[in-house]
Amino acid sequence: MDLTAVLSDRIKTVDTTLDKALDIGEQEKLKKAMRHLPLSGGKRLRPVLAMVVADAVGGQGKKAIPFGLCLEIIHNFTLVHDDIMDRDAMRRGIKTVHVEFDEPTAINAGDVLFARGFEVLTTLDVKPEILMILVREVAEMVRYIGEGQQSDMDFEKRVDTTEEEYMKMIEQKTSLMFKMAARGGAMIAGGTKGQIDALTEYGRLLGLGFQLWDDVLALTADQAKLGKSVGNDIRRGKRTLIVVHAFNNLTKEDKEKLSKVLGKENATKKEVDETIELLKEYGSIEYAKNTAQRFAAKAKDLLAVLKESEHKKILLEMAEYAVRREK
């Protein structure tokens, strides 16, 4: 299945409605800053996931649009702020908001996106009781994302991060939003409790697989395709599952080698390349790949709660795509 082709109508819908939803505000600079990242593209995975789930459960994909938009807007708000916190200069091949504008404006743009996400959510055409649950869960989700981001920053200053800690961090920082997308889509489409539960777990596992695969790509992808620097995670000292696995398995000598380059901001390309080779040799990258694929496989199993349909096939394919993509 060519996922991009199959999803192109939905992606177009997201692009168009997102553009409209963010065509708001009288402060020109703030408005430009707010629109900069969300309208620069992106895979639109979260809103599309919500829509496909809603279609698969009850043919309600269109109804789920405001919910999907809310998630996409909130996703972008977290990226704008994360880029400031992480001092990232590029994303999706363009300058990040605080670099293109300035830092105060980027902080403000993130805040305004966050607020706009909730405004858009309230336009969702479901019973107020359901909407209320979604508002509460989305707000809680954002709080956990903040906790995950904080852990992520803390890990960079520590050498003893465990696999358990890492998994919890990506569960909060990345996976939760996929979980919420699938869960919300099922709720909006009037799914049974069994369907909602299974799809919630599907989204969670999909998100975990997605993030682990992202970590792999950050070290192994074709830089031109990825749109950001390959190997930067090494220079920044990111504690990914790959690095955690390496620290558990490397010889003392190789561990010292890794420690030397990890977090060395001005590491040369040669140093970074050698480090990546080391991680490959010890099977650390393979370990993360396999873990990601295991999550994706489990996610697919959970789709048994859905009757056969074209939409279900897309959900199966999305789980595969998450751990196969090249960017």
Binding positions for a second copy, rule: CB under 8 A: 24-27, 29-30, 78, 81, 84-86, 103-105, 107-112, 114-119, 121-122, 127-129, 131-132, 135-136, 138-143, 146-147, 149-151, 153-154
Taking the complex as a whole, the smallest distance from the CB of residue 210 to a second copy amounts, in Å, to: 22
- Kindly tell me which of 129 and 308 has the beta carbon lying closer to a second copy: 129
Residue nearer to a second copy on the CB measure, 1 or 30: 30
Nearest CA to 240 among 268, 262, 215?
215
Helix axis angle, 163-170 relative to 241-249, nearest 10°? 180
* Residue (72 or 317) nearer to a second copy, CB: 72
Residue showing tokens 């607020």: 115
Q: Which two tokens stand for residue 23?
A: 């065509």
Minimal distance, residue 180 CB to a second copy, in Å: 13
Q: Give strand pairing partners of 91.
A: 94
Closest separation in Å from C-beta 29 to a second copy: 7
Of 128 and 194, the one with the shorter C-beta distance to a second copy is 128
**Cα 54 from Cα 178, distance rounded (Å):** 14
Instruction: Report the candidate in 230, 216, 208 with the shortest Cα–Cα distance to residue 285.
Output: 216
Minimum Å gap between C-beta 208 and a second copy is 19
Q: How far is the CB of 33 from a second copy (least distance, A)?
A: 9
**What single DSSP character describes residue 289?**
H
The distance of closest approach from Cβ of residue 84 to a second copy in the complex, given in angstroms and rounded to an integer, is: 6
**Residues in contact with 322: Cβ distance below 8 Å, sequence separation at least 6, in sequence order:** 206, 209, 210, 213, 292, 296
Minimal distance in Å, beta carbon 144 to a second copy?
A: 9
Contact 97, 54 (CB under 8 A): no
Compare residues 141 and 217 and give the one whose CB is closer to a second copy.
141
What's the rounded Cα separation, in Å, for the pair 33 and 17?
18
Closest CB to a second copy among 30 and 226? 30
The DSSP letter of residue 159 is: S
Q: What are phi and psi of 122, to 5 degrees?
A: -70, -5
CB of residue 176 to a second copy, shortest distance in Å = 12
- CA neighbours within 13 Å on the CB side: how many for 188? 33
Instruction: Name the CA dihedral angle for 139, 322, 67, 89, rounded to a multiple of 10 degrees.
Output: 60
Identify the CA nearest to 216 among candidates 244, 240, 246.
Answer: 240
Q: Please report which residue ranges of 122-251 form alpha helices under DSSP H.
A: 128-155, 163-170, 176-188, 193-220, 223-226, 232-236, 241-249
- Which residue number, 141 or 299, has a Cβ lying nearer to a second copy? 141
Please identify, using beta-carbon distances, which residue of 2 and 28 lies nearer to a second copy. 28
